[in-house]
Amino acid sequence: MLPIGPMMIEHRLIERMIKIMDAEAKRIKKEGVLNLTLIDKTVDFIKTYADRCHHGKEEGILFRELEKKNISKEHKKTMDELVEDHKLGRELTGSLAKAREKAAGGNHSQVAAVVDIMEKLVNFYPKHIEKEDKHFFMPVMGYFTDSEKDAMLKEGYEFDQNLIHEKYRDVVEEFENQ
């Protein structure tokens, strides 16, 4: 299996979450009431799964290895755009968490901000995923040997195994430091 196979599978799960976010944004617009649990889980999903896990492997493994290669200007430009996309996704997710907190604290004007940010994420992710799936992942695999691809795939599996431990170690340390 190519090392991008698991990343493309991850895209499918992210797309499913985006559909849930889209439906929730529409529901909030109609009813004006936030489902705080759903928003909390959405923020956690994006931060942990989409960003730390998925983008973490892209940036920490695939992009790192591509930096060692003499890739085309077009591929370098796309890779740089993807890194900027990842930063934008992080910023939007952070803004969503802040707007949710303000809304939960009684600032009802933040309900519209939550919807706005959710809509931005709903519009952002499909375009980002399409760029990766259709215009980047497959073409850049040509820069790697089969053994390099296998090594990246193995590193990706190891990354996934360590992620859950990292996440919950951070949770415990956060509480310990309070």
Domains of the chain: 4-176 (1.20.120.520)
Tokens linked to 22: 């889209």
pLDDT of residue 7: 84
Report residue 58: phi and psi, to 5°. -60, -55
pLDDT tens readout for residues 136-168: 999 999 999 999 999 999 999 999 999 888 888
Tell which residue, 166, 141, 128, has the closest CA to residue 50: 128
Tell which residue, 37, 174, 22, has the closest CA to residue 104: 37
> Residue 153 carries which side chain, given as an amino acid letter?
L
pLDDT tens readout for residues 18-56: 999 999 999 999 999 999 999 999 999 999 999 999 999
0.85 surpassed by pTM: yes
pLDDT tens readout for residues 89-133: 999 999 999 999 999 998 988 999 999 999 999 999 999 999 999
Tell which residue, 40, 51, 129, 116, has the closest CA to residue 87: 51
Contacts of 43 (CB under 8 A, 6+ apart): 93, 96, 97, 100
pLDDT of residue 118: 98
